[in-house]
Every structure is written in C-alpha cells, then in structure tokens.
Chains A and B, each alone.
Chain A
Amino acid sequence: MALIDLVVEKIVKIPLESQDKPDVIRELVQILKDAGEIEDFDSVLKGVQDREDKQSTGLEQGIAVPHCKSAAVSSLKLAIGIAPQGIDFDSLDKQPTNLFFLLVASPELSGPHVEALAEIAKLARSKAFCKALVNAENAKEVVDLLQGR
C-alpha cells in the first residue's frame, strides 16, 4: 500500500496537546489506537521509545519522523501530529518541532517501510509545503494538502 493511501483524517491530529517529547510520543501512538489501527498500545509505544533512545528522530526545520518495526502490526501504520506552537523533541537543530510523522511497520515489510520513510523524507525537504501543513486548521486540510487536492 502506498503512503498516500494511509493519509486519512482519523490518523491526523491538529493541534497536538502534549508539551514535551515523552508525551508527544504517547499522543502519536494514541492516535493509532483511537483510529483502530493498533491494539497493543504498550508494545508499539516501547518500540518507538526504544528507537528514540538511540537518537532523536527530530530533524531540522521542525520535522520529526519517529518510527519503529513492530510485530504488533501487520501492515504500515501512519499517524500525523501537528503542533503549531512547537514542542522540544531534542531535534538536530535544537529548534522546536511542529510536524510529526509516526510510522510503524511489520518486521516483514521492510521494503515498503523504507519506501514510506523515504517519501516522508522527500516531503520534509519542501519548506513551503511543511509550513502549509503546520498552518492547516484541521485534519481535512492536512489530508487535502498531502493528497495534492
């Protein structure tokens, strides 16, 4: 399944309520739980936290791409969170992060997982587009922007 097919309103939350990194990770995993995309919240949360413990996935320009492989899912799972106010995510440039893409994949889907992450990485290169996402007013607007409508 292509990344674009995963982008639906129920996996988008704007604005995020969290104020710090541990909470935002929980909130992103909760988006998947609330959307019915995962059942084992704790297992997915631990996978994402373990990866973040190695090195933050907070990049530059206010973007973070937390991710992990998890046997708790059988396909690719995406959650998008937007924090217009910015959250300290221990990013590379030490700036607050506004745009979060959480990606969780089955260990047996490494190829599609890598390709989905690469698509997010390409999106993240467009400053203007990321700014438009951060300025979106609701989930529908985020979906429309990502689907290029």
Chain B
Amino acid sequence: MSNPIKKIMVYVDGTEQSVTAAQYAICLASFSGAELIAHYVINTRAVEDLLKARIFLKDEQVEYEHDMEADAERYLNYIDELAIKKGVSIIKKRSRGSVHKEIVDSIEENDVDLLVIGELSRIRSRRDEFFDESERAMRAVPCSVLIVKDQDRVWEMYESLV
C-alpha cells in the first residue's frame, strides 16, 4: 500500500501550540515524504464583528488587520525556517476571512489528507461562544485531523530529526 498521506496541512495562528503543531507536522512530512502546507488565516471576520459590536474603532480595524498580515508573514517565515533546518520544504499559504471556513476551503482545494492543529483547550465549556477557531476547524474539515500535544516531547522529536 502506498503512503495514504500525501498532503499535510498545519494551521498556524501564532500561538505556541500552533508552533508545536508545525514542528510535529515537519517531522511527519519528513518521515512520510508528504507535501506540507502551512496555512495562516487573517481573521477579518472577527475584526468585522468587533467593529459591528463597537469594541473596535475603524482605525483599530485597519491597525489589527495590518498587524495580522505582519504576524502571518513572521510566523510562516518562522515555520519555513524550522522546516528548512530539517530538509523539509513547505508551501506557505495565507488567506483572509473566517478561519474555519478558510481552512475547509483550502483543504478541499488542495486535496489535503491530514490537518494538523495545536492542542485545544483542556476545559470543555458547554457555552458555544468558547469554541475556538481550531476547534471549529477540527469539526468542519472533511479530512482526518491530528491534534498535537506535549510540547516538550514534540520539541525533542523535532530536534532529533536529522
């Protein structure tokens, strides 16, 4: 049987958890030879909601979107550096909109086999408002999802990769 995982996508949002997920995904791509896509979504949907709710001013909307563009550049470049160190090439993708919808669309467009995300909250609130974007994506995507835990162990695995 040939390798069932030909394309992996890791969702990067700038959190430590997402960087750990990226390290794990780099290891997986190295072991399997799968293509690796790192995707950052600039959450313009949330910014628009905050403007409507009057929590943000118009100039804050512009400022935060600009900041998120810069974050996307910085974190994707960082993940790229992590991958290059281990001889893995990645495809950097960024898009704007609602995070879970953008991830679903990207997975369908790119025919991704596996989505890798960082650890979710350990607290399972019954309140829908606390479903974070990674959790929404996990539930919405059509492919399998791998949730990466244990930052120290993953770091050791990444470091030991030659």
Residues of A within 8 A of B (CB): 1-5, 7, 54-55, 57, 59, 65, 67, 69, 92, 107-115, 117-124, 126, 129, 146-149
Query: What is the interface size of chain B, counting residues whose CB is below 8 A from a CB of the partner?
Result: 37
Residues of A within 8 A of B40 (CB): 111
Give the shortest distance, in Å, between A49 (CB) and chain B (any CB).
Answer: 15
Q: Which residues of B contact A112 (CB under 8 A)?
A: 13-15
Q: How far is the CA of A55 from the CA of B68 in the complex (A)?
A: 22
Chain B: minimal CB distance from A135 (Å): 17
Q: Which 4 residue pairs are nearest across A and B when measured between Cβ atoms?
A: A148-B126, A110-B67, A2-B121, A118-B46
B125 in contact with A148 (CB, 8 Å):
yes
Contacting pair B68 A111 (CB below 8 A): yes
Interface membership of B47, Cβ < 8 A: yes
Contact indicator B14/A147 (Cβ below 8 Å): no
Collect the chain B residues with CB atoms within 8 Å of residue A1's CB.
Answer: 15-17, 121
B67-85 contacts to A (CB < 8 Å): 67-68, 70-71, 74
Contact A108 B71 (CB under 8 A): yes
* In contact, A3 and B130 (Cβ under 8 angstroms): yes
22 A-B pairs with CB atoms under 8 Å apart are A1-B121, A4-B123, A5-B121, A5-B122, A92-B54, A109-B14, A110-B64, A111-B13, A111-B43, A114-B46, A114-B47, A115-B43, A115-B132, A115-B133, A117-B50, A118-B49, A118-B50, A120-B55, A147-B125, A148-B127, A148-B130, A149-B126
Q: Are A114 and B68 in contact (CB under 8 A)?
A: yes
Separation in Å of the B26 CB from the closest CB of chain A?
A: 21
Contacts A111-B14, A119-B130 hold; do A54 and B125 have CB atoms under 8 A apart? no
A119 with B13: CB separation less than 8 A:
no
Q: Report chain B residues within 8 Å CB of A54.
A: 57, 59
- Does the CB pair A122–B129 fall under 8 Å? yes
The answer to whether A108 touches B55, judged by C-beta atoms less than 8 angstroms apart, is no
Given A54-B57, A118-B49, check contact A146 B43 (CB 8 Å). Answer: no
A-side interface mostly: helix
Residue of B nearest to A103 (CB): B55
Complex contacts, B46 vs chain A, CB 8 Å? 114-115, 117-118
Q: Which residues of B contact A3 (CB under 8 A)?
A: 130, 132
Indicate if B1 sits at the interface (CB-CB under 8 A): no
Complexed CA–CA distance, A1 and B55 (Å): 21
Residue B42, interface by CB 8 Å:
yes
With the chains together, A57 CA to B40 CA distance in Å?
29
> Do A124 and B121 touch (CB < 8 A)?
no
Mark B1-26 against chain A: 1 for CB-CB distance below 8 A, else 0.
00000000000011111000000000
B136 CB to nearest A CB, Å: 10
Question: A147 contacts which chain B residues (CB < 8 A)?
Answer: 123, 125, 127
With A4-B123, A115-B46, A146-B125 known as contacts, the answer to whether A110 contacts B55 (CB < 8 A) is: no
Give the interface centre of B15, B47, B57, B120 by most chain A CB atoms within 10 Å. Answer: B15
